[in-house]
Amino acid sequence: MVKTLILFTLILGFIACKHDYFPKPIGYFRIDLPPKKFKVFKSECNFKFEYPDYFTVTKSEQNNAEPCWYNLNSNKFNAKIHLSYKNINNNINELFEECRTLVYKHDIKADAINETIYSDTLNKIYGTMFEIKGNAASNIQFYVTDNAKNFIRGALYFEVKPNKDSLAPVINFIKKDVVHFIETIRWQ
């Protein structure tokens, strides 16, 4: 009886071990993306724009913040878009260069940096959006200007460790909001 039990266990062991083991791939939580409904924000600093209602606009609380710096905060996505407004005083080339320098600081972690240029001569909106691919701290940065008096720089940051795979759906979702911001900004 004992020999039969041992023989049965050995045969069962050989039969059970014929399948190759494949580990399950890493999964991520499902992210429910809200519908897009926009509000208008009017700044006392010569501009207004539309932003989605899942963001709130607050004054920047950074130590070196200027009066016309704002943050678009999203608790739902744990994200923040920093907006810094500057008056142009014969320094537009310096502002462009500063913006490019801040974008390309992420080059170390970036897989690629894509630029999209925006131009609306009717509303005097000229700008560039930078998509920073990879595990960079900021995945989207942009600037918008009228090339005469006004310059706004923006940068998207998440309050989490960068992970391009898990953040990709949210980045693509917010990218559309940044494009909408650029297209709806109006100088006063």
Give the separation between CA 2 and CA 161, rounded to whole angstroms.
Answer: 57
pLDDT at residue 10 greater than cutoff 90:
no
- What was the pLDDT predicted at 109? 84
CA distances from 165 to 57, 79, 114, 136, 161 (A): 28, 16, 18, 12, 12
pLDDT band at 13 (very low <50, low <70, confident <90, very high): low
Contact 31, 25 (CB under 8 A): no
Where are the domains positioned within the chain?
2-187
Global confidence as pTM: 0.81
User: According to the model, what pLDDT value does residue 85 have?
Assistant: 95
* Residue whose tokens read 């890493």: 26
pLDDT, position 14 = 66
pLDDT of residue 4: 80
Please tell me the predicted confidence (pLDDT) of residue 43: 93
Q: Give Cα separations from 102 to 14, 20, 146, 150 (angstroms).
A: 61, 49, 21, 19
Residue whose entry in the numeric block shows the structure tokens 């014969």: 90
Please tell me which residue, 81 or 167, carries the higher pLDDT value: 81
Report yes or no: 81 and 175 within 8 Å, Cβ to Cβ: no
Q: How far apart are the first and last CA of the chain?
A: 94
The pLDDT assigned to 17 comes to 58
Closest CA to 187 of 73, 85, 62: 85
Share of residues in the chain with pLDDT > 90 (%) = 63
Give the pLDDT confidence score for residue 141 in this predicted structure.
Answer: 95
- pLDDT score at 65: 82
Query: In whole angstroms, what is the distance from residue 156 CA to residue 138 CA?
Result: 6
Predicted local confidence at residue 114, as pLDDT: 94
pLDDT band at 28; cut points 50, 70, 90: low
Tens of pLDDT, residues 138-187: 999 999 999 999 999 999 999 888 777 778 889 999 999 999 999 999 99
Average confidence score pLDDT of the chain = 88
Cα separation values, 144 from 43, 167, 184, Å:
15, 25, 11
Per-residue pLDDT at 58 exceeds 90: yes
When pLDDT is cut at 50, 70 and 90, the band that residue 19 belongs to is low
The class of domain 2-187 in CATH terms is alpha beta
Alpha-carbon separation of residue 113 from 38, 73, 144 (angstroms): 28, 24, 18
* pLDDT for residue 21: 66
